[in-house]
Amino acid sequence: MHNQLVFADLTDYPVMAQALDNQWLPADLAASRQRASTPAGPSSEAVAAGAAELRRSLVNSGTLVVNRAYFLNNEALYSNYLPTAEPSERAAFIQLLNRRAMVPYLYTEREATAEFGWGHDRSVATAWRRLITDESDPGLVRFDWDDASNRQRATQVGNFFSTQLSVLRRLPAEVLAQNLGIPKEQARAMRVGILKDLYDWAGDQDIDRDITRNMVYERFLSRPGTEPHENLLREGEHIVPAKQLIDLLYSLGVPKASGLIALTPPDSPPRATLNELREDSRPAADDPEAIGLLLRDLFADELHRAVDGPNSYAGLSLADIVRLRREEEWRAYIDSLEAFVRGGFRDGRLPSPEEFAQHTSDVTRSHARMLRAARRTSASHRGFVREISTVLVLESAGIAAQLSAGQDITLLSGSLQLLTAAAGVVSLRLQFRDTGRGWLSGGLGHSVTLPSLRLNNLRKDWQTILRVYGREVVESGGGVLGRPADQMAAA
């Protein structure tokens, strides 16, 4: 059949995006799922984050391969084809399917409408069946359309997750700290705590059965008495970073088995976190093609994060993206990625330093032109946006507070009760936070430390500062923000 594809048929810079996984959450939103008062199910903020990443993925790929399950259990996807969807967005979603800008990946099923056991909303299943049967003609990709051969290849995906779980314990604390945005002390504690427990538990499982991600969630991450799809997490400082490692590992199964490029979202740890080049994991030295492909995959993830990371595409509608993908600038950008990432590493070869410099320059320039085209062609004329938030941080010995635009003032550490009546200083720092990079290093974030002010009475003057603010003061205990690219302002 014309719509039965294998991965070799996907020749227009095909990728898989981790952020379309229904379990994916940025770190700050994942932490909010630990609160006892949090209701089950995805929050509106999580759906909005997923929707923005869907748009990012469609802009940064020729073909976006999406696990069929996510079309049915991720609201950021299925909200675009429900009968209640905005008509122009629904029509654009169908166009993207028909033009194979999005291609559903089938695991062992042969039809996109096959019955499933992981759906939780029958109205979504009904809408999907109608979409596929009556309104669209998408391509469908499997490893092979011979069931026996496909089953053998698909089994590799589950095997990869099962066998690599034990590797997480051996990741260097320095790598974990840098890429998860946590202190080194916490990374070390994770290695001898939750990651060791995971290692021991995995070793006790039936060696003839794959370990599924749901099993890991139920044992280590999900709140007791809840299902993983409810997105409710246990308490504890190691839960969110452990979840991010598990989700990153899970997202690589199909790309590694199929040869697709795997993209990680900017507000999540990069693929390099898994340290795939370590001696006990990298391909054998006599397999230069496998080494070349691994280097390609690691580089592609870093390239996308470096070039595109700070941008948010929440301002683009799907109709905007359909228009953008017709523009010469978008095509030139995708072709530059294809030529470098897939062409430059073909047949086990590695680009020379000169080729690296030339191709990265080409990708960067074509990306900038593509963004200008996105702004020009979008109906709102906003296109992408850079999300930069401004935070004012006030610090004295024993207390620190921050004020973000549109939010309540937050006590990050200390309390008024701990302050003395003695004189002291309060330092003021403006932080410009690159929201697209989140808590990760890099991006456009920086801060400016202003001249310190002397207070005659720390306790009294801090009480005055908080009182004149006139709104609720929230104690977070989250610690003082770092100082990215800090500058000292002249007095």
328 and 212 within one domain: no
Predicted pLDDT of residue 481: 46
The residue out of 333, 363, 385 marking a domain boundary is: 385
Number of domains in the chain: 3
Calpha distance 277→297 (Å, rounded): 11
Predicted pLDDT of residue 311: 75
> Domain limits at 368?
318-385
Q: List, in sequence order, the alpha helices (H) in 60-117.
A: 68-73, 75-78, 87-98
In a domain, 349, yes or no: yes
In a domain, 291, yes or no: no
147 and 244 within one domain: yes
Give every residue of the chain whose pLDDT is below 70, as ranges. Answer: 1-2, 117-120, 277-292, 347-349, 379-390, 397-398, 405-408, 412-423, 430-453, 468-491
The residue out of 336, 358, 385 marking a domain boundary is: 385
362 and 269 within one domain: no
Q: H/E element holding 429?
A: strand 424-434
377 and 240 within one domain: no
As given in the structure block, the two tokens for residue 278 are 């370590």
319 with 88: CB under 8 angstroms?
yes
Predicted pLDDT of residue 451: 56
Q: Please provide residue 434's backbone torsions phi and psi, each rounded to the nearest 5 degrees.
A: -80, 100
As given in the structure block, the two tokens for residue 77 are 């996807």
In a domain, 309, yes or no: no
In a domain, 337, yes or no: yes
pLDDT tens digits, one per residue of 61-113: 999 999 999 999 999 999 999 999 999 999 999 999 999 999 999 999 999 99
405 and 378 within one domain: no
Cα-based angle 395, 398, 402 (whole degrees, multiple of 5) = 35
391 and 243 within one domain: no
Predicted pLDDT of residue 354: 84
208 and 146 within one domain: yes
Calpha distance 93→81 (Å, rounded): 7
Calpha distance 264→21 (Å, rounded): 11
Calpha distance 131→31 (Å, rounded): 35
* DSSP assignments along 196-231, one per residue: HHHHHHHHTS-TTSPPPHHHHIIIIIBPTTS-GGG-
429 and 371 within one domain: no
Other CB atoms within a 10 A radius of the CB of residue 96 amount to 22
262 and 191 within one domain: yes
Other CB atoms within a 10 A radius of the CB of residue 320 amount to 24
Predicted pLDDT of residue 173: 95
> Structure pTM?
0.78
Find, among 268, 378, 366, 370, the residue nearest to 314 by Cα.
378
The residue out of 281, 305, 328 marking a domain boundary is: 281
